[in-house]
Structure formats: C-alpha cells, structure tokens
Amino acid sequence: MTGKRLILGQVLEFLGDPAQLGAGATRHRRHGAVLIAEGRIAAVDEADTLRAAHPDVAVTDHGAHLILPGFIDAHAHYPQTAIIASWGKRLIDWLTSYTFPEEMRFADPSYAAEVAARYFDLVLAQGTTTVASYCTIHPESVNAYFTEAQARGLRMLAGKTCMDRDTAPAGLRDTAQSAYDDSKALIGRWHGVDRLSYIITPRFSPTSTRAQLGALGALWAEHPDCLMQTHLSEQTDEIAWMHSLYPEARDYLDTYEAHGLLRENGLYGHAIHLTPREIDRLAEVGAALVHCPTSNTFIGSGLFDMGLRARMRVGLATDTGGGSSFSMLRTMAAAYEIAQLRGMALHPSESIWLATGASAEALRLGDRIGRLAPGYEADMVVLDLASTPAIAQATTRAEDIWQAVFPTIMMGDDRAVAQTYVMGRPVVPA
Ligand code: GUN
Ligand code: ZN
C-alpha cells in the first residue's frame, strides 16, 4: 500500500515529562512497531498486533534497536559549523577571535548554501531532525538555511541574527531599522511555509542598541506567534559587560523586558547566572530556557540549574559551535554530568525527554514533534544500543530499558544512529 510503512524495533513512548509523571510517563515495548501513513505516525503498538492488522504494509525491521522521536536541538548556530572546537577562549574572546570572522563569510550566499547543506548532513547523521538555529546578520544566511531545509522536507526554525552596536565588528552590523525590515520580510517569506518557522533573533543585548531591541520588540508584538530567541546570563564577564552598556538595567533580563522582548514565546539560551527576580519573571510570563551543556563546559560558562524545570519549560541544545558536539547524545551526557555537579541525577527517561518532547515544548511544537504518538510527524531516530564494543559490554547486564540505553546516552555518538527518518522517509544512512 502506498504511503504506509511499518517500522519494527524496541519502542519508547512518552506520555509527558518523566519529572512530573514519574514511571507513568513512559511505555516501553520490547517488540514494538510504529505505523507510518503519509509521513505521520498512525499507530504505535506491539509489532504482532500491527502486523496482523496491516498484513499488506511494507515492513522495516530494526530488530533490537530503539526507535525514538528524532532529536530536537533547541539552540544552535549553523554558521559556526566550521569553527566548532576552536581552542582556548572564553565567551567574549571566543566571539571576537573565531565567531565573528567566520560569520562575516556568510555575506557570500554560495558559502552560506554550502555550510547549510553540510550542517544538515551532519545533524541528520546524529539523529537530529529539528534545530532552532541562529543565522548571521545576512538575510542570505537565512535563505540558505531555509532553502536547504525545505528541499529536504525538514521541520526547521531559524532567524536572522541582529547586531547593530559598535561592540560587533564593522561588516557584521545591521541597524535598528534594517533589522526590523529584514526580519519582517523574512517572516513573510518563510514563517509557516511547509515545515519552517521564523524566529526573531536579537543576538544578545551587548551587541544591540536599545533602539534595535525596541524595534525587534515591536516586530514581535506584531507577530506574537513567532518565537524570539536570544542569549541570557551565560558568563559572568558577559553580565558585567552588559551592565556597563545598560547601567539602568536591574539585571540582564531587564534589558529584554524593557524593550518588549520578554513574552511566553521567548527562548532564553544558557540562563546560568540568574537572579531570583529574573527567575520569577521568566516563570511568570511562561518563557522557556534552553540548556546548552557542552557549550557551558567548553567555554567555561557555569553549571545550569536543572531544578528550574519545576518553574518553567526547559529545552536542550548543542549551541554549535560554542558547544563542542553536533550530537544530542553527547549533549545529554554533558547535561547528566552538569546535573551531577549540582547534586542531581538525571534519569535516562528525563535525558531522552529533554532532547525530544521537552525541546519540542520549548519550541511550541509539542503537538507535532518530539513524541511517538498518533498524529505526530514521523521524524524518528533508531539507535543501536550496542554501537561500539565499549557500549556493548556495558549493557550486557542491563535489566531494563533504562540500564540498556544509559551507556548509549553517556558514550554514544553518530555510530549509534542506525537510521534517521524524516516524515517517515529514511534519510541517514542514505
Ligand atoms: N552569546 C552571544 N552570541 C553567542 C554565540 O554565538 N555563542 C554563545 N555560546 N554565546 C553567545
Ligand atoms: Zn548561542
């Protein structure tokens, strides 16, 4: 039958957040199946049940591999693909030494197109099917990303990064007006087209003037259904810099709040060094935080407080290329280690939920992606839970799915990705 396919393997279904629902949040099927119809999930059940009910449908059997929703990276910078793992700097020096020179190259649309294609190849190989990315100040960098995502049928989000202060280098600055105009035009061209969403994107208050923050706040008020993404309280040096540029601000969040950039559809990346007032305000408006653990250790920023999940939505992200990996498995491992340093042990169900359903909810896409459930888009990753000898031997005594998957969370990489599906189509390996 056309448009239908039955995918067999171990299946983990999430009914919600394990931190809230406990063991009842998940259902594991040792011999499970996902029925795909027209790119969406039509049913999730025991393999025998679905095979009997759909005897004519093509079957792909992944054996003991684990079928999960595709990973969702809630904060990345695709233009930093080529400068990932650059040595020896903290945030401000890292931006000026590595990031800004590389981002200048995106004035060339052909370079932007080349990196966008390379980036999607890399993340799909890691089992990531949705990314919320920053682009550069160049509208061409947004067009390159969305053009490539559209051609591949991906659900992707992104925005033009806006910077108009002289703290950003000449050649990498827009203006308050051009940021507003270009962002508005890009919303008109891309937002809601196919599987694409535009995100209003002031980089962070140290590289924007008050006028630019205000202009983007006004644009957001005109398009409240758009997400807005920015950086918040990542590093203590950065907070001191912010205060020198905005002496009137009560705290970092105030620079956004004062300019219409604090609402429920806001995504605040890093959010490590928050004051009690900032936490209260973020929770009051229903904003989302995005935890970027490999970046926070790589750039030396600090230890995010997972306890904030009790107050607000929190997504998980690589923060490529401040983050040191394209892999959401590696990102889950780093989140586990940071939580340990803060006295919390993240259960494997929470780690997987953070990389799937929680990130989908942070991006306001929790009704379409991030879960294996009827009606959801069939973006999926299939994991080999014994992808290397080291992982295989660590799972030999596993007594349940959590013990079986945890070594892959801690030690896995793209070798664990047996298959990535986009709208039910296998895309990696080709
Ligand atoms: N703060 C402002 N811009 C950036 C960026 O590109 N990466 C990170 N990690 N932090 C930022
Ligand atoms: Zn970032």
pLDDT at 79: 98
Counting ligand 1 atoms within 8 A of each CB, the residue from 89, 161, 203, 273 with the most, and so the one to mutate, is 203
Counting ligand 1 atoms within 8 A of each CB, the residue from 137, 234, 325 with the most, and so the one to mutate, is 234
- Report phi then psi at 288, rounded to 5: -115, 145
Q: CA 179 to CA 219: how far, in whole Å?
A: 10
**Residue 280 belongs to domain with CATH number:** 3.20.20.140
**Total number of domains in the chain:** 2
Q: Are residues 66 and 113 both part of a single domain?
A: no
Ligand 2 center from residue 373 Cα (angstroms): 31
Q: Are residues 179 and 316 both part of a single domain?
A: yes
Q: Is pLDDT at 418 greater than 80 in this prediction?
A: yes
Instruction: Give tens-digit pLDDT for 164-209.
Output: 999 999 999 999 999 999 999 999 999 999 999 999 999 999 999 9
**Beta strands at 313-316 and 196-202: parallel, antiparallel or unpaired:** unpaired
- Which range of residues forms the domain containing residue 380? 4-70+371-428
Ligand 2 center from residue 32 Cα (angstroms): 37
Please tell me whether the overall predicted TM-score, pTM, comes out greater than 0.90 for this model.
yes
Buried b / exposed e along 376-411 (16+ C-beta atoms within 10 A): bbbbbbbbbbbbbeebeebeeeeeebbebbbbbbbb
**Residue 397 belongs to domain with CATH number:** 2.30.40.10
Q: Is any ligand 1 atom within 6 A of the Cβ of residue 203? A: yes
Q: What is the mean pLDDT of residues 333-338?
A: 98
Q: Are residues 227 and 110 both part of a single domain?
A: yes
Ligand 1 center from residue 199 Cα (angstroms): 16
Percentage of the chain with pLDDT > 70?
99
Mean pLDDT of the chain: 97
Q: Is any ligand 1 atom within 6 A of the Cβ of residue 319? A: yes
Q: Is any ligand 1 atom within 6 A of the Cβ of residue 103? A: no
Instruction: Give tens-digit pLDDT for 291-317.
Output: 999 999 999 999 999 999 999 999 999
Q: Is pLDDT at 157 greater than 60 in this prediction?
A: yes
Q: CA 368 to CA 366: how far, in whole Å?
A: 6
Q: Are residues 13 and 94 both part of a single domain?
A: no
Q: Are residues 183 and 85 both part of a single domain?
A: yes
Q: Which two tokens stand for residue 14?
A: 């999430």
Q: Which two tokens stand for residue 38?
A: 């027209």
Task: Give the residue from 337, 362, 387 where a domain finishes.
Answer: 362
- Report phi then psi at 155, rounded to 5: -90, 105
pLDDT band at residue 110, thresholds of 50, 70 and 90? very high
Q: Is pLDDT at 1 greater than 60 in this prediction?
A: no
The atom of ligand 1 lying closest to the CA of 238 is: 1
Q: CA 210 to CA 24: how far, in whole Å?
A: 47
Q: Is any ligand 1 atom within 6 A of the Cβ of residue 75? A: no
Which residue's C-alpha comes closest to atom 7 of ligand 1? 322
pLDDT band at residue 428, thresholds of 50, 70 and 90? confident
Q: Are residues 114 and 51 both part of a single domain?
A: no
pLDDT band at residue 429, thresholds of 50, 70 and 90? low
Q: Is any ligand 1 atom within 6 A of the Cβ of residue 204? A: yes
Q: What is the mean pLDDT of residues 74-79?
A: 98
Q: Are residues 318 and 409 both part of a single domain?
A: no
Task: Give the residue from 339, 362, 385 where a domain finishes.
Answer: 362
Q: Are residues 384 and 337 both part of a single domain?
A: no
Q: CA 232 to CA 206: how far, in whole Å?
A: 10
- 3-class SS string, the chain: CCCEEEEEEEEEEECCCHHHHHHHHEEEEEEEEEEEECCEEEEEEEHHHHHHHCCCCEEEEEEEEEEEECEEEEEEEHHHHHHCCCCCCCHHHHHHHHHHHHHHHHHCHHHHHHHHHHHHHHHHHCCEEEEEEECCCCHHHHHHHHHHHHHHCCCEEEECEECCCCCCCCCCCCCHHHHHHHHHHHHHHHCCCCCEEEEEEECCHHHCCHHHHHHHHHHHHHCCCCEEEEEECCCHHHHHHHHHHCCCCCCHHHHHHCCCCCCCCEEEEECCCCCHHHHHHHHHHCCEEEECHHHHHHCCCCCCCHHHHHCCEEEECCCECCECCCCHHHHHHHHHHHHHHCCCCCCHHHHHHHHHHHHHHHCCCCCCCCCCCCCCECCEEEECCCCCHHHHHHCCCCCCHHHHHHHHHHHCCHHHEEEEEECCEEEECC
Q: Are residues 186 and 171 both part of a single domain?
A: yes
Task: Give the residue from 362, 383, 417 where a domain finishes.
Answer: 362
Q: Are residues 47 and 85 both part of a single domain?
A: no
**Beta strands at 313-316 and 288-291: parallel, antiparallel or unpaired:** parallel
Q: Are residues 192 and 106 both part of a single domain?
A: yes
Q: CA 143 to CA 124: how far, in whole Å?
A: 20
Q: Are residues 266 and 280 both part of a single domain?
A: yes
Counting every residue, how long is the chain? 430
Q: CA 357 to CA 370: how far, in whole Å?
A: 4
Checking 41-47 for CB contacts under 8 A at 24+ apart, the result is 41/372, 41/373, 41/374, 41/375, 41/376, 41/377, 41/378, 42/4, 42/374, 43/374, 44/11, 44/13, 44/372, 44/373, 44/374, 47/8
pLDDT at 3: 84
The atom of ligand 1 lying closest to the CA of 292 is: 9
Q: Is pLDDT at 2 greater than 90 in this prediction?
A: no
